[in-house]
């Protein structure tokens, strides 16, 4: 099972954006992130953090049947869990993220409080400063 904690940092809304994620797989911990070239709103950045993290996992972790994605964004969790949104922007991100989640026999998307997502938050903020 892969556990993936995702977060984003934005300076302004919209503004410069960075994302960070912590991946637990096969008794290993990976801490990754990146600064994005474009400016995004906070909600968009949270979706992008999940998308970028799932892309990274697909290319860097051996195959697994189960993935659990954790985010402190209630909007991201709601949209990805329900697999629907009336908001066009969120729907577009859902179309990008769903195929990555569908590669697993079971994919869970769960909300966590910020206090349980500190590492991903710190990574995103550190990349934002670069």
Query: What is the spatial distance between Cα 116 and Cα 101, in angstroms, rounded to a whole number?
Result: 22
Residue 51's pLDDT is 98
Query: What is the spatial distance between Cα 25 and Cα 95, in angstroms, rounded to a whole number?
Result: 25
The reported pTM is 0.96
Closest CA to 75 of 100, 103, 49, 36: 49
Superfamily per CATH, domain 2-128: Ribonuclease H-like superfamily/Ribonuclease H (3.30.420.10)
- Residue 44 exposed, middle or buried by CB count within 10 Å (0-12, 13-18, 19+): buried
Backbone angles phi, psi at 17, to 5 degrees: -135, 145
Residue 63's pLDDT is 80
The number of beta carbons lying within 10 Å of the beta carbon of residue 72 is 21
- pLDDT block averages, 10 residues each, the chain of length 130: 97 96 95 97 98 96 91 98 97 98 96 98 96
């Amino acid at each position: 099972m892969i556990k993936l904690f995702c977060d984003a940092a934005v300076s302004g809304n919209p503004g410069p954006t960075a994302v960070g994620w912590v991946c637990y797989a096969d008794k290993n911990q990976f801490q990754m992130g990146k600064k994005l070239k474009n400016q995004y709103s906070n909600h968009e950045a949270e979706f992008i953090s999940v998308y970028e993290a799932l892309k990274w996992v697909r290319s860097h972790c051996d195959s697994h049947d189960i993935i659990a994605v954790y985010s402190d964004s209630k909007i991201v969790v709601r949209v990805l869990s329900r697999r629907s949104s009336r908001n066009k922007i969120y729907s577009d991100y859902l179309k990008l993220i769903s195929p990555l989640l569908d590669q697993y026999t079971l994919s869970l998307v769960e909300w966590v409080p910020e206090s349980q997502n500190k590492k991903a938050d710190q990574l995103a903020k550190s990349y934002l400063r670069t």
